[in-house]
């Protein structure tokens, strides 16, 4: 963890929140004491609108730079403009004419809100994805420190030394911490990133399922913020002094929010996103009810209601800010984060004039009562469009795992054509819904690649994070053949944790081994979280160091979202194997491994008593038959376990032919599950040369489904028969190479 970077994050956000909380917290209290109406105070709050609409000019910050460093140069320049605006503001009397005061305040807010775009972008570029959880904690802690200075600090100074001196001190305090920028080096923009323009910026809104996220973002904080203006004005109306208000609202309430951030932040951020939103959303309802009750029946306790409300706001911010970071595209960080924060704050910012009018005409209670049913809105969106409470371990995409990435390239259409050929060759169904859109579908997984101006947008949508990892790896592997430089700078949204073990990785240890028949070994592995292996497929990627006895170095997630495999002496040998049985209670799985002399994993499978740890990724691979009537299945030793799982999935209903390598007919029939299919055993040594001719004999009658697993060249011959002589298409045949003659390192895809 880079503590210097995290400290700079805290300082930058503390500086940013000083002027914001001066506007939304201190200024209304001062104006109320000067005798202004609630409606007027609400209108002056419109000076904070640049904080909301800053996303409109945020692409300019992402695109241009004023000095050597893009975002640091903007921060320094805009700081100067903001400080000048605050100095001018200090020259006006808050009890005098509002127009010049509002104009100076607006200029200062435009400058600091635009600077906020640059700060957000700089912080996101400084933080590695694995640091964002801790980074969000420092961000919130810094924000509440700034809130204390901008709220309590200013009110305290105003009460003791007056308006002008307090604002001049605030201007100096705003400028001083910016020296921290010299302690961090701004990362350069990745080479060849897509151009920053309005068209690319607006593509943020067209991402799948973005609407539900923005709807939750725009409604979850609104009920709590509605209570802020009436709570502040009630304190003034009750005759509390500026110093007392500063202590309770600016110090105690903000300190409580900051304390909640530090103490509960890590817990909430490590929960599944939907569950965390449910928790804070449900918590907000009793908080709002308590605030309304205090306002109506126990107004003397209003100071405690403020503290309670700010703790609820802090917990909500923790969850939503972390979610907003995950949605940011690396090429346009300023725009993406700013537009989300704008939506998060837009309704509260626009409702202050309405709330002020309601207070002037009907009193305080209607606003408090209206906030309670509004708190149900984000929960309803979550419940009906994302996941029920019992399914809250899912992500915001429901039971889908979605990851999106953008790759800069000068030949976007050529990349799509290349990928079409590559994936079609592997038997994956590819279609072109639009001239610039390639869609690939298999096993309930969807990949879409869209050609844009100077870039390709990639979207992976799968039933689980496990599938997403496999598919993302496969996409990157193929793209690397076409444009290795572009792939190196590819960046993704969707929970990429750079430098950490892949989320579908686990370590297992061999417990026992036994021979099923000559050439086929069964290895029992034990370890934790084997229940996860019951989902998504039947194959796992088994790995171990190529040098026997060497301490393993396991793969981690690379910056471009791929799996970074160790190299050199730490290189791993990997092979897909099939899970034959899982015993969850015992934390055991059985894998059947074809044994041949000289194979690292096959030799390991025969080492009785060896307790070497092995790495496992997965599972993957279809484990069900598309059709069961008159089908053709064939497999050599490497495919026998998968063949058995397929027959097993049919529950004895499948009919047709099975051709498989085995020492004898009797041994093959005892290994395979009972079925109505005709089983034929072939000599293992001659299986690859004979299997194509035997499969061809089945072409005289209609075949509904064909499947083969074995050697690469044999797989090509059988696939040709499936397609040309049996008329099977991509959805009714699959011919997979598990190994290749003369290529010991070959390990085919398992999908």
Same domain, yes or no, for 319 and 410?
no
Same domain, yes or no, for 342 and 420?
no
Tokens of 573: 């040998």
Domain boundary among 593, 620, 647: 620
Cβ within 8 Å of residue 168, ≥6 positions away: 86, 87, 90
Asked if 217 contacts 322 with a C-beta cutoff of 8 angstroms, the reply is no
Q: Give the three-state DSSP class for 734.
A: strand
* Residue 406 dihedral angles phi and psi, to the nearest 5°: -130, 130
State in Å, rounded, how far the first CA of the chain is from the last one.
Answer: 37
The CATH number of the domain holding residue 529 is 2.40.30.10
Is the residue at 205 inside a domain? yes
Q: Rounded distance, CA 141 to CA 10, Å?
A: 7
Left, alpha or beta for 618 (phi > 0: left; psi -120 to 50: alpha)?
Answer: left
* pLDDT value, residue 223: 93
Domain boundary among 589, 620, 651: 620
Q: Rounded distance, CA 569 to CA 546, Å?
A: 8
Same domain, yes or no, for 613 and 725?
no
Cα dihedral: 264, 269, 270, 275 (round 10)? 100
Give the total number of structural domains in the chain.
4
Is the residue at 80 inside a domain? yes
Q: Rounded distance, CA 704 to CA 12, Å?
A: 64
* pLDDT value, residue 698: 94
Q: Rounded distance, CA 112 to CA 13, Å?
A: 12
DSSP 472-524: HHHHHHHHHHH-HHHHHT-EEES---TTSPPTTEEEEEEEEEEEEETTEEEEE
Same domain, yes or no, for 532 and 486?
no
Same domain, yes or no, for 481 and 563?
no
Is the residue at 350 inside a domain? yes
Is the residue at 497 inside a domain? no
Same domain, yes or no, for 361 and 420?
no
Is the residue at 427 inside a domain? yes
The CATH number of the domain holding residue 319 is 1.20.1250.20
Q: Is 701 exposed, middle or buried (0-12, 13-18, 19+ CB in 10 A)?
A: exposed
Same domain, yes or no, for 329 and 304?
yes
* pLDDT value, residue 296: 85
Tokens of 234: 């009630």
Same domain, yes or no, for 190 and 261?
yes
Is the residue at 500 inside a domain? no
Same domain, yes or no, for 585 and 709?
no
Instruction: Please count the CA atoms within 13 angstroms of the CA of 716 that sit on its side-chain side.
Output: 6
Asked if 201 contacts 59 with a C-beta cutoff of 8 angstroms, the reply is yes
Q: Rounded distance, CA 232 to CA 309, Å?
A: 12
Cβ within 8 Å of residue 750, ≥6 positions away: 470, 537, 539, 541, 576, 618, 620, 621, 736
Q: Rounded distance, CA 209 to CA 387, Å?
A: 13
Same domain, yes or no, for 572 and 553?
yes
* pLDDT value, residue 1: 47
Quick check: pTM over 0.75? no
Asked if 310 contacts 254 with a C-beta cutoff of 8 angstroms, the reply is yes
Element (H, E) at 269: helix 254-269
444: closest CA among 623, 306, 575?
Answer: 623
Q: 10-residue block means of pLDDT along the chain (751 residues)?
A: 74 80 79 82 82 82 82 88 89 83 88 86 75 71 82 82 88 77 75 65 79 91 89 84 78 84 76 86 95 88 90 89 78 81 74 85 91 94 83 64 83 91 78 91 86 86 86 89 85 75 89 90 89 84 87 90 90 90 90 79 80 87 81 93 91 91 94 93 92 93 93 92 90 84 52 33
* pLDDT value, residue 393: 64
* pLDDT value, residue 535: 79
Q: In whole angstroms, what separates CA 37 from the centre of its chain?
A: 45
The β-bridge partners of 438 are 449
Is the residue at 751 inside a domain? no
CA distances from 396 to 41, 320, 337, 385, 441 (A): 38, 12, 17, 9, 22
* pLDDT value, residue 242: 75
Is the residue at 719 inside a domain? yes
Same domain, yes or no, for 577 and 606?
yes
The CATH number of the domain holding residue 659 is 3.40.50.80
Tokens of 541: 């990627």
* Residue 458 dihedral angles phi and psi, to the nearest 5°: -125, 130
Q: Rounded distance, CA 113 to CA 51, Å?
A: 5
Annotate 686-712 with three-state secondary structure.
HHHHHHHHHHHHHHHCCCCEEEEEEEH
Domain boundary among 372, 391, 410: 391
Cβ within 8 Å of residue 444, ≥6 positions away: 462, 463
The CATH number of the domain holding residue 471 is 3.30.310.50
Same domain, yes or no, for 537 and 601?
yes
410: domain range? 401-492
């Amino acid at each position: 963890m880079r503590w210097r970077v995290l400290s700079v994050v805290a300082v930058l956000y503390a500086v940013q929140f000083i002027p914001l909380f001066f506007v939304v917290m201190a200024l209304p209290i001062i104006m109320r004491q000067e005798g202004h109406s609630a409606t007027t105070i609400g209108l002056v709050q419109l000076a904070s609108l640049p904080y909301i609409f800053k996303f409109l000019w945020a692409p300019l910050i992402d695109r241009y730079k004023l000095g050597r460093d893009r975002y640091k140069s903007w921060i320094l320049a805009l700081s100067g403009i903001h400080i000048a605006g605050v100095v001018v503001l200090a020259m006006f009397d808050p009890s005098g004419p509002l127009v010049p005061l509002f104009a100076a305040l607006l200029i200062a807010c435009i400058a600091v809100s635009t600077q906020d775009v640059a700060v957000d972008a700089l912080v996101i570029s400084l933080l590695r994805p694995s640091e964002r959880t801790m980074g969000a904690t420092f961000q919130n802690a810094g924000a509440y420190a700034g809130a204390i200075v901008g709220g309590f600090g200013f009110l305290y100074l105003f009460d003791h030394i007056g308006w002008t001196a307090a604002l001049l001190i605030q201007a100096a305090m705003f400028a001083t911490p910016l020296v921290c920028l010299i302690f961090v080096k701004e990362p350069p923009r990745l080479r060849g990133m897509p151009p920053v323009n309005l068209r690319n910026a607006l593509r943020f809104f067209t991402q799948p399922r973005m609407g539900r996220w923005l709807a939750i973002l725009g409604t979850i904080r609104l009920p709590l913020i509605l209570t802020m203006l009436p709570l502040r004005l009630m304190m003034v109306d009750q005759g509390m002094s500026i110093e007392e208000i500063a202590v309770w609202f600016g110090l105690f309430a903000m300190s409580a929010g900051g304390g909640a951030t530090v103490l509960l932040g890590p817990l909430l951020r490590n929960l599944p996103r939907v569950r965390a939103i449910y928790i804070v959303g449900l918590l907000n309802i009793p908080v709002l009810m308590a605030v309304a009750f205090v306002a109506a029946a126990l107004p003397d306790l209003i100071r405690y209601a403020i503290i309670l409300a700010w703790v609820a706001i802090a917990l909500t911010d923790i969850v939503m800010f972390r979610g907003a970071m995950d949605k940011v595209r690396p090429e346009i960080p300023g725009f993406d984060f700013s537009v989300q924060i704008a939506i998060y704050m837009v309704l509260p910012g626009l409702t202050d004039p309405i709330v002020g009018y309601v207070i002037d005409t009907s009193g305080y209670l209607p606003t408090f009562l209206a906030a309670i049913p509004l708190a149900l809105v984000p929960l309803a969106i979550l419940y009906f469009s994302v996941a029920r409470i019992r399914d809250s371990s899912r992500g915001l995409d429901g039971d889908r795992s979605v990851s999106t990435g953008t790759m800069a390239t000068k030949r976007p259409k050529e990349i799509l054509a290349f990928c079409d050929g590559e994936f079609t060759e592997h038997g994956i169904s590819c279609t072109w819904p639009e001239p610039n859109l390639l869609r690939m579908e298999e096993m309930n997984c969807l990949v879409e690649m869209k050609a844009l101006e100077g870039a390709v947008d990639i979207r992976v949508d799968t039933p689980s994070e496990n599938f997403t990892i496999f598919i993302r790896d496969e996409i990157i592997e193929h793209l690397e053949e076409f444009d290795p430089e572009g792939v190196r700078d590819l960046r993704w949204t969707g929970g990429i944790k750079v430098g950490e073990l892949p989320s579908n990785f686990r370590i297992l240890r061999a417990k026992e081994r036994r021979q099923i028949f000559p050439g086929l070994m069964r290895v029992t592995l034990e370890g934790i979280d084997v229940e996860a292996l019951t989902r998504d497929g039947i194959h796992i990627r088994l790995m171990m160091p190529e040098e026997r006895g060497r301490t393993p170095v396991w793969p981690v997630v690379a910056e471009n979202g791929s799996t970074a495999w160790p190299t050199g002496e730490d290189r791993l040998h990997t092979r897909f194997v099939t899970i034959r049985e899982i015993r969850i209670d015992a934390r055991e799985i059985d894998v059947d491994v074809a044994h041949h002399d000289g194979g690292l994993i096959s030799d390991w499978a025969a080492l009785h008593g060896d307790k070497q740890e092995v790495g496992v990724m997965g599972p993957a691979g279809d484990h069900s038959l598309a059709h069961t009537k008159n089908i053709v299945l064939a497999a050599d030793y490497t495919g026998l376990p998968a063949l058995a799982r397929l027959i097993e999935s049919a529950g004895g209903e499948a009919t047709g032919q099975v051709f498989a390598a085995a020492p004898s007919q009797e041994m093959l029939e005892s290994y395979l599950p009972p079925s109505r299919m005709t089983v034929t055993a072939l000599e293992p040594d001659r299986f690859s040369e004979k299997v194509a001719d035997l499969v061809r004999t089945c072409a005289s009658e209609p075949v509904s489904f064909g499947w083969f697993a074995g050697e690469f060249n044999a797989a090509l011959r059988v696939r040709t028969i499936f397609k040309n002589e049996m008329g099977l298409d991509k959805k009714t045949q699959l011919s997979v190479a598990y190994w290749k003659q003369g290529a010991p390192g070959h390990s085919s895809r398992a999908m």
